[in-house]
Structure 1
Amino acid sequence: MKFQSTRGQAAIVDGADALINGLAPDGGLYVPLVFPTIDFDWEKLQDENYLQIGQLILSTFFDEFSNNEITDFLKSAYRDFDDSKIVEIHQLDDKRNLLELFHGPTLAFKDMALSLLPYLLTAAVKKNGSSKTMVILTATSGDTGGAALKGFNDVPQTKIVVYYPSVGVSKLQRQQMTTADGKNTHVVAVTGNFDDAQKAVKNLLTDHRLAQKMSAASLGFSSANSINIGRLVPQIIYYVYAYAQLVKNNRLSAGEKLDISVPTGNFGDILAAYWAKKLGVPIGKLTVASNANHVLTDFFATGIYDADRSFQVTSSPAMDILVSSNLERLLFDIAGSKAVAAWMKDLTDKRRYQLDDFSLSRLQDSFNAAFADSKTTAQTIQETFQQNNYLLDPHTAVAVSVNKDFPSNRQQLIVATASPFKFSETVLKALGKESDNDPQMNLNLISDLSGQRVPLAISGLFDKKIIHTKKLAIKDLLTDLNEALGI
């Protein structure tokens, strides 16, 4: 399969180059040159496991890899998951189904793709006959960093660099990142928010002078953020799997439409659902669930994307984002590269852009959008526990809350993006329970409430030595990166 840039000013590349580059040279994101479709056989797929469905999706988008290679990637990627099924579907009531994507090593949905990306990326480098060491640049609002550090931990011919905001991440997220002990890891707290960190990563990835120095040192850049096509494609797998399982469990008839609600920040997870729909999965409405940083809610209502607003630190930090990068891929799908390039230039120059009426109506045909503030999120955690005996994390709670704003007679899939163990203090506060200064004690309290053991992935996490203590201003990241790479 060939891939093109959303901004139309970069060369068409194959899958290996798209994986390696991460970001296209013109600043755009890679999308298929011709988007594929699959005639899904749900009677067959309902009896296939996650890895088998993964094989179908990955081979469709990355045909440069053999079936045997893809099988090996999938088996290796998911062997450390806490659940043999990899994902679980929990029936909340007769209409609502929770897609649990938090059974990986860092207890968040980012594990679904970031456990697989190292295998895709290193294989792509080999396909291209390169001997370069790949430097994986990553900005994180909390979850991506931990998952990327885990996924790339001591992977040969890679270095993983993570930038996270110094304020807003949970204690557990910070502990996962600052204790990363791989010899190829470099973690820095930045004095700014996620948008600042993400902008810095994009600038570094497209810095031609830096690229020349890297090349001379036999180094190359890629990204573990969802701007990388290798992050996005693996996320399609779980939507196909979920639909097949709902058919198997008689929650859906094959061909019946499924509505999906997704906690949304950088727009990658919900874009994967949209791409699953384009592939051929019978999906109805997609609901974009935001927190108090509701730039996307306003955008889908008005067609005006306005990032020139105050940044809110909320109880759902992985969604504390004002510049939603993957939205660019959706805009390309509805309007093409010329319009996208103009809108992205306006976003850079003016911090805002406005769609034409036709483009907005196309978006509204497929998407709902609403938001829940931190107070509503806490109420949803409490209500769901009282009524359904189920503990939500604050991100999933946003989606559960927003989903109520759009009543539907269809089956609904709500994406559960993180474990409540990962945000124990927020969950305990929502339940009116007093949290402890000892993070391990809070995990034990969540265990008692949920009736589930503390996941092995975080058992003993707070006993680990903190290795990464660096905190820098955005302006100092380039100098620090040069020093870290020895160039």
Structure 2
Amino acid sequence: MSLFYKSTRDDSVKVTASQAILKGLAPDGGLFVPESIPSFDKSLEELSKMSYKEVAYEVMKLMLDDFTEEELKACIDKAYDEKFDTDVIAPLVKADGAYYLELFHGATIAFKDMALSILPHLLITSAKKNDVHNEIVILTATSGDTGKAALAGFADVKGTRIIVFYPKNGVSPIQEKQMVTQKGDNTYVIGIKGNFDDAQTGVKKIFGDKELEKEMAEAGFQFSSANSINIGRLVPQIVYYVYAYTRLLADGEIKAGDKINAVVPTGNFGNILAAFYAKNMGLPINKLICASNENKVLYDFFTTGEYDRNREFVLTTSPSMDILISSNLERLIYRIAGNSAKKNSELMESLKNTGKYEITPEMKAQLSDFYGNYATEAEDAATIKKLYEDTGYVIDTHTAVAATVYEKYKKETGDDTVTVIASTASPYKFTRSVMDAIDSKYDSMTDFELVDELSKISNVAVPQAIEDIRTAPVLHDTVCEVNEMSSSVKKILGI
């Protein structure tokens, strides 16, 4: 075993991969990052002959090297099974000159399934490896998709409970219905009167509450996280970028060593950070194209070097990206600060106190791998409509942000490198926004009438995840103020 994880805010913290997965967040509030990023030990040609599960093992074994081969393969087998509606797990679909990496074929029809199908198994294995006997309480904030994917992954998993906080008026109707109808004796869903950043900040505050941690331990509980701040979420996400490249290679679309671009719609920065890690492991990626919606805090950061959350929060049709504090960006900041916990801590303290920070010119120079841009609501809708009319292919609102930004990138640069666009959710998850974009005549239909109409025009069967919630009863109806989040957790746990 050679790879340890450090905290982005304290150089003295050093843990194994399984310990980092168990903790979720470092004690000092920092995020766990690998001391170094390992390189592939298989060639791209070898990887191109493998299935998704086999590629997953080859990538994840390098990052989670305190798991035995048997342990890791068992986790992978349990994750990528019949929960996915295709054996390929993450198909590539070519449309309008780009390759859409469909990451929504899992149980909850969003890309979060790719990591949250395996996280419960990584977590339970980690607990056994570290002789943890407490009940693990998964505490998560969601902007829409993480919540349902985490609930589905952890439902009725022995030795765990899961509590999900979501912004009551900040997710799509389908997203909310998916969460509030979730079965499982160990699942709890709470709407908060605030936005996602309020939920995320509240969860981080609970994690940092030492008094509560002590009460939890005395009652036989300990917290962990299913958010992308958990390295157990990030590592599985690296896999699908590697797999996408190897599919292009296997299909003769590229030759080994040819570079590709990756376009990722992102709010919390985890998904594109996984692509950055893939590049640093040896995947030939030319440009990491960071696509933002009208909450364009990341676009402004890549343009100016200043991160500033002091702005109006915009509710958009791509709600999973309605975020002003991009938690995973801290992992990149730590890296471009020369892996300096001191420098990173100073910047994060500035963010906490003033709502902004500015990186040095030397740090900004290290961001040349990235290109940032954003899409307006009108551009987003126009992209959905045009792609459908030109090709018959229907994408969701988040993927449309990425497709829009990719067109801007091509126009600015003339770069015609083979490009993979991360398609992060099924259009069925955001049916009303998608159908409104295609034609305003659908405006008077109910949500489920729109579902059936989308199936007709796209020639894609309604996913089981949607069929399951048509008549499902609401099982979770709790709503609380932001300052009541901690007491809500205590009430659930009986402490």
Mapped partners of 2:444, 2:89: distance in 1: 31
Alignment partner, residue 113 of structure 2: 111
Alignment partner, residue 214 of structure 1: 216
Query: Shift of residue 41 of structure 1?
Result: 1.1
Pairwise mapping of residues 239-388 of structure 1 onto structure 2 (< 5 A)?
A: 239-335=241-337, 336=339, 337-363=341-367, 365-388=368-391
Alignment partner, residue 84 of structure 1: 87
Match of 2:19 among 9, 17, 20: 17
Query: Shift of residue 9 of structure 1?
Result: 4.9
Query: Shift of residue 75 of structure 1?
Result: 1.3
Deviations 1:417-445 (A, max 9, x none): 00001110001100114145532221111
SS in structure 1 at match of 2:461: coil
Mapped partners of 2:261, 2:65: distance in 1: 30
> Counterpart amino acid of 1:53?
V
SS in structure 2 at match of 1:23: coil
Deviations 1:386-431 (A, max 9, x none): 1121001000000000001112121011110000011100011001
Query: Shift of residue 58 of structure 1?
Result: 1.6
The answer to whether the 8 Å contact 2:442/2:450 transfers is no
The answer to whether the 8 Å contact 1:439/1:462 transfers is no
Alignment partner, residue 433 of structure 2: 426
Mapped partners of 1:39, 1:9: distance in 2: 28
Mapped partners of 1:135, 1:454: distance in 2: 33
Deviations 1:44-87 (A, max 9, x none): 21110000001111211112222122121111112111111111
Deviates more, 1:35-44 or 1:157-166: 35-44
SS in structure 1 at match of 2:470: helix
Query: Shift of residue 460 of structure 1?
Result: 3.2
Match of 2:185 among 170, 183, 186: 183
Structural RMSD (CA): 1.0
Deviations 1:157-206 (A, max 9, x none): 00000000011211110011001111001110001110010011111111
Is the aligned partner of 1:417 residue 2:424?
yes
Alignment partner, residue 195 of structure 1: 197
Mapped partners of 2:311, 2:466: distance in 1: 36
Instruction: Give the alignment's TM-score, normalised by structure 1.
Output: 0.98
The 1:409/1:39 distance shift into structure 2, 3 A limit, reads: farther
- For structure 1, the residue ranges without an aligned partner over 5 or more in a row are none
SS in structure 1 at match of 2:371: strand
Instruction: Give the alignment's TM-score, normalised by structure 2.
Output: 0.97
- For structure 2, the residue ranges without an aligned partner over 5 or more in a row are none
SS in structure 2 at match of 1:405: helix
Pairwise mapping of residues 8-87 of structure 1 onto structure 2 (< 5 A)?
A: 8-9=10-11, 11-79=13-81, 80-87=83-90
Mapped partners of 1:172, 1:78: distance in 2: 24
Deviations 1:359-404 (A, max 9, x none): 11211x1100000011110000000001121001000000000001
Identity %: 44
The answer to whether the 8 Å contact 1:39/1:280 transfers is no
Alignment partner, residue 454 of structure 2: 446
Deviations 1:14-68 (A, max 9, x none): 1111001000011110001122111441222111000000111121111222212
Query: Shift of residue 10 of structure 1?
Result: 5.0
Match of 2:465 among 444, 448, 457: 457
Aligned residues: 485
Pairwise mapping of residues 109-188 of structure 1 onto structure 2 (< 5 A)?
A: 109-188=111-190
SS in structure 2 at match of 1:462: coil
Is the aligned partner of 1:478 residue 2:482?
no
SS in structure 2 at match of 1:12: strand
The answer to whether the 8 Å contact 1:307/1:352 transfers is yes
Match of 2:476 among 459, 463, 468: 468
> Counterpart amino acid of 2:194?
G
